[in-house]
Amino acid sequence: MKSDDRKTPLFETHVALGARMAPFGGFAMPIQYTGIFKEHEATRTGSTLFDTCHMGEFRLSGSSAVADLEALLTCPIGSMQHGQCRYGLLCNESGGVIDDLLIYRIGDHEFMLVVNAGTQENDFEWINTHCSESTTLENRSDTTAKIDIQGPGSPDIMNALIPEGIKDLRFYRFKDATYQGESVLVSRTGYTGEIGFELYAPLHLAAPFWQSAMQQGAVCAGLGARDTLRLEMGMPLYGHELDDKRNAAEAGFSRAISADKPFMGDSVIRDPARHREALVGLQLGGRQSARHGDTILASDGSPIGTVTSGSFAPSLGTAIALGYVTNEYAHIGTETLLQTSRKALTATIVKRPFYTAATAREAIENFCS
C-alpha cells in the first residue's frame, strides 16, 4: 500500500477489524477480511457490507442538464422517472468508453452520476468541458460516503436501520430517507447480482452505519469478493472489459446503448464494420483460472482473442473468465484454449451471466420478515 493512497472514512474501521488493505483506484481499500470465498458465500446467502466510498458522485442541474446528458451518455435520459437509476456509458468521439456509470434522476433538471474511482477526475473534466453554460456540475465525492449492503438478508437489516423502511423500493430505484436523524439517499441497484442497497450519506455517518449493520448480522466484505461476485454475473470492470480504446458495442451491453438517439461516438458504435470482436463468457473445466491478458486460442492453437478477467467461481465450483474474441468464434458452445503462464486451459464459450440463481430482481417482500 502506497503512503499517498487516499483513505475512505471507513479506513480506521477496516484496520481495526483486521482487513487486508491494498491500493485500488488511488485509495487504500479492504481486499478481504475472513477470506474471499467466505465473503462471497455470505453475499449469496446472507448479507455483506462493502465500502464503496472511493467511488465518485457528481451532481448536474439546470435547464440544459437533460440535453447535455443525452448528448454525453449512451442511455436514454429524458425518459427516466424521478427516483429512477439507469446504467450508461460515457464515450469519446471514437466510440471508446471513458467510464461506465449510474445515473440517478433527482428531479426534472437534476441528476446524480456515480462514477468509478480511478476515472473520477478525467470524467469530471470531460463532462464539464462538454456541458452547456447553463448546466451546473458539482463534484460531491469528497463529502459523500457510499456503502453497499448486499445479499438476501439485507432488506431486513435496512428495514431495521432506516426508519422509512425500504419495502417500497423497486429494482433500479432510489428514495430519500434518514439515518440517525440525518438525510441520506438509499438505492437498490447492486453489482453482485443479489438483492441489495446503496447508502449515500455524509461522511461522519459511514462508521456508525457500518457498525450498526454489523450488529444486525451483516458480514464485512472486501474488493476480492466483490470481483468474484461481479464476474459470476458477467458484469464489466472498467480497465478490464471496458476502456477508452475499445468500441463500446463490442462489450455487448446493448441495454445501455440507445438504438436511436444521437450521442458522443454514436456513429462509430452503431457501425457494424467497427465491431471486430465480441465479449464472451468462458467456462473452464477445473479450478485453475486464467488471468487478465492471457491469450485465447482456437482449438487448433491459433490466437483469437484475450482474457479480460478470470477467477475461480465459488458459486459454480469451477473457474470462469471474460474475454474478447474475433466475431467468427463468438458463439455459444465454441471450444477454446486459454494460454496461461503455466499451461493451456480448456474453456467453452457460454451464455452470461454464469450464475443464474441471483436474487437482485426478485420481489422485495420475499426477503422481508
Q: What is the pLDDT of residues 239-272, one digit of tens each?
A: 999 999 999 999 999 999 999 999 999 999 999 9
From 174, 201, 231, the end of a domain falls on: 231
Does 204 fall in a domain?
Answer: yes
Q: How confident is the model at residue 5 (pLDDT cuts 50, 70, 90)?
A: confident
Over range 281-288, report the average pLDDT. 96
Query: What is the domain range of residue 23?
Result: 6-53+142-231
- Do residues 348 and 333 touch, judged by C-beta distance below 8 A? yes
d(CA 122, CA 58): 12
What pLDDT sits at residue 358?
97
At residue 188, φ and ψ (nearest 5 deg) are -130, 90
Quote the percentage of the chain above a pLDDT of 70: 99
Q: At residue 212, does pLDDT exceed 80?
A: yes
Sheet with 144-150: list strands edge to edge. Answer: 174-179, 182-187, 196-202, 144-150, 48-51, 219-220
d(CA 324, CA 346): 16
Q: At residue 30, does pLDDT exceed 80?
A: yes
Residues 147 and 282 in one domain: no
Number of domains in the chain: 2
Is the full-model pTM beyond 0.95? yes
CATH number at residue 324: 2.40.30.110
CATH number at residue 48: 3.30.1360.120
CB-based contacts of 3: which residues, under 8 Å, 6+ apart?
none
From 165, 199, 231, the end of a domain falls on: 231
Q: At residue 197, does pLDDT exceed 80?
A: yes
**DSSP state letters, 230-293:** HHHTT---BTTTB-TTSBGGGG--GGGS-SSS--TTHHHHT-GGG--EEEEEEEESSS----TT
Bridge partners (DSSP) listed for residue 336: 298, 347
Quote the percentage of the chain above a pLDDT of 90: 97
Does 90 fall in a domain?
Answer: no
Over range 184-198, report the average pLDDT. 96
Q: How confident is the model at residue 190 (pLDDT cuts 50, 70, 90)?
A: confident
Does 329 fall in a domain?
Answer: yes
- Do residues 320 and 311 touch, judged by C-beta distance below 8 A? yes
Does 95 fall in a domain?
Answer: no
Does 91 fall in a domain?
Answer: no
What pLDDT sits at residue 4?
65
Q: What is the pLDDT of residues 71-85, one digit of tens each?
A: 999 999 999 999 999
Residues 199 and 343 in one domain: no
What pLDDT sits at residue 3?
58
d(CA 277, CA 326): 4
The 3 state secondary structure assigned to 105-157 is: EEECCEEEEEECCCCHHHHHHHHHHHCCCCCEEEECHHHEEEEEEECCCHHHH
Residues 177 and 297 in one domain: no
Q: CB 124: neighbour CB atoms within 10 A?
A: 18
Q: At residue 276, does pLDDT exceed 80?
A: yes
Residues 146 and 289 in one domain: no
What pLDDT sits at residue 1?
58
Q: What is the pLDDT of residues 122-165, one digit of tens each?
A: 999 999 999 999 999 999 999 999 999 999 999 999 999 999 99
Q: What is the pLDDT of residues 319-366, one digit of tens each?
A: 999 999 999 999 999 999 999 998 999 999 999 999 999 999 999 999
Does 146 fall in a domain?
Answer: yes
Does 349 fall in a domain?
Answer: yes
Residue 182 to residues 9, 176, 179, 200, Cα–Cα distance (Å)? 17, 10, 5, 11
Does 155 fall in a domain?
Answer: yes
